Amino acid sequence: TTRGLHKTHWLDAACVGKSTPEKIFQIDKAVLIVKADGHGSRQMCRVNKFGFPRTTAKSTEKKIKGFQTGDIVKAVVTSGKKVGTYIGRVAVRKSGSFNIKTVDKTVQGINWKYCRLLHASDGYSYNTTC
């Protein structure tokens, strides 16, 4: 309030403390939002309502065709029903047919040959705000 800034979480954090200058010139900058997504599940197989296994155990392979679930990929599909360019988080399958979760939808059944790695999975998702 003293500095005449908007009420946002990151500006509140910038104004806390004795070392904050009287004028803050960074108010129009984009803010990096980091969200912890994890590296998957430690559950070895799915269970039914009684606790007995209903699926087989997970594969010990994390990487399929050089990709692993959580990687950010760019897929340029040139033929078939799903022609287009998709950028998003990939979910891998052993068959090589991947799912790509974009900002607005999930595209299923994209062949690994169309995919190019943009960012390797590190357990976090990144976004910016203006």
Banded model confidence at residue 55, pLDDT cuts 50, 70, 90: confident
Would residue 15 count as lying in a domain?
A: no
**Residue 28 pLDDT:** 67
Would residue 64 count as lying in a domain?
A: yes
Would residue 25 count as lying in a domain?
A: no
Would residue 102 count as lying in a domain?
A: yes
Would residue 24 count as lying in a domain?
A: no
**Residue 51 pLDDT:** 92
Would residue 8 count as lying in a domain?
A: no
**Residue 27 pLDDT:** 58
Q: Is 107 exposed, middle or buried (0-12, 13-18, 19+ CB in 10 A)?
A: middle
Q: Residues of the chain with pLDDT > 70: what percent?
A: 96
Would residue 50 count as lying in a domain?
A: yes
The torsion defined by the Cα of 7, 8, 13 and 19, in degrees rounded to 10, comes to: -50
Mean pLDDT of 3-29: 76
Give residue 105's domain range: 34-128
Using CA atoms, how far apart are residues 52 and 59, in angstroms rounded to an integer? 19
User: What CATH number did the domain enclosing 50 receive?
Assistant: 2.30.30
Using CA atoms, how far apart are residues 7 and 13, in angstroms rounded to an integer? 11
Residue count (the chain): 130
